[in-house]
């Protein structure tokens, strides 16, 4: 079965529960909670305000804007290694990439500098993605620390739950997550990095006119077919 004959294998589809009414149903629930709070309804507004401000600080469209696997920091490190520079030596993966460069650079007989960079980076793609994702998460946590008063958020949750009922607040949180956190931001970041990797694999070496993935296949040792 070829899963890629269906377009949703590339783009996915929205969950059946994610309907055009989901946003309004969420706010109808919020209205019920506010009414239960009576004259103390303002804590709910504060709670929603903190939540919305927090998620707006980490938007998916900049998730991987300048840290692409091949086009960002890692490419700069390889350029510095090829140039004999130690400009990026403070990066946590510098030594690991230096060893990979020293081990394999002699095998790269291509004239194009960009081709040599790609063929050195592509085998490290999984490790570099893991490192980039970890640094991305640290950056997002740092962003949230600057805009989100977590103690205040949890206190508001407790206060509202005491007055309106914990089950309603649990349901509200679940609906907020389903409607506003549709895809985990780390997964969005990883997809951005992986899309850049796919573009690099499809790029062509100017000398041979072969695509990078072809050159990668050519370089792999022959193994017995399972």
Q: What is the pLDDT of residue 140?
A: 80
pLDDT for res 21: 65
- Following DSSP, what letter does each residue of 132-155 receive, concatenated? HHHHHHHHHHHHHHHH--HHHHHH
Length of the chain as a residue count: 226
Q: Three-state SS for 112?
A: coil
Question: Within 10 A of 149 (CB to CB), how many other CB atoms are there?
Answer: 14
pLDDT on residue 159: 93
Look at residue 210 in the predicted model and tell me its pLDDT: 95
In the chain (226 residues long), the average pLDDT of successive 10-residue segments reads: 71 63 88 92 92 75 55 81 84 86 83 89 88 83 73 90 93 90 83 86 95 91 71
Contact 51, 160 (CB under 8 A): no
Q: Give the pLDDT score at 33.
A: 95
Distance CA 24, CA 194 (A): 35
d(CA 195, CA 8): 17
3 state SS of 204? strand
| Predicted local distance difference test score (pLDDT) of residue 207 | 94
> Which pTM was predicted?
0.75
Residue 212 CB partners (closer than 8 Å, separation 6+): 115, 118, 119, 122, 200, 201, 202, 203, 204, 205
Check residue 16 and give its pLDDT: 56
What per-residue confidence (pLDDT) applies to 19? 57
Q: In sequence order, what E strands does the chain have?
A: none
Angle between the N-to-C axes of helices 212-219 and 113-121, in degrees from 0 to 180, rounded to the nearest 10: 60
């Amino acid at each position: 079965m070829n899963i890629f004959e269906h377009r949703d294998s590339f783009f996915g589809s929205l969950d059946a529960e994610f309907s055009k009414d989901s946003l309004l149903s969420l706010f109808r629930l919020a209205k019920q909670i506010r009414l239960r709070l009576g004259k103390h309804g303002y804590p709910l507004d504060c709670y929603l305000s903190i939540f919305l401000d927090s998620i707006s600080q980490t938007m998916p469209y900049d998730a991987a804007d300048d840290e692409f696997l091949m086009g960002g920091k890692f490419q700069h490190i390889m350029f510095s290694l090829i140039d004999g520079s130690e400009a990026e030596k403070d990066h946590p993966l510098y030594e690991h990439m230096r060893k990979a460069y020293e081990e394999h650079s002699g095998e790269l007989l291509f004239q194009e500098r960009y081709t040599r960079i790609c063929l050195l980076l592509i085998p490290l793609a999984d490790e570099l993605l893991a490192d980039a994702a970890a640094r991305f998460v640290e950056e997002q946590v740092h962003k949230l620390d600057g805009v989100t008063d977590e103690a205040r958020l949890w206190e508001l949750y407790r206060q509202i739950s005491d007055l309106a009922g914990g089950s309603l607040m649990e349901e509200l949180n679940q609906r907020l997550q389903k409607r506003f956190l549709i895809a985990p931001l780390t997964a969005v970041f990883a997809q951005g990095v992986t899309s850049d990797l796919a573009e690099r694999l499809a790029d062509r070496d100017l000398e041979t006119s072969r695509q990078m993935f072809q050159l990668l296949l050519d370089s792999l040792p022959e193994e017995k077919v399972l």
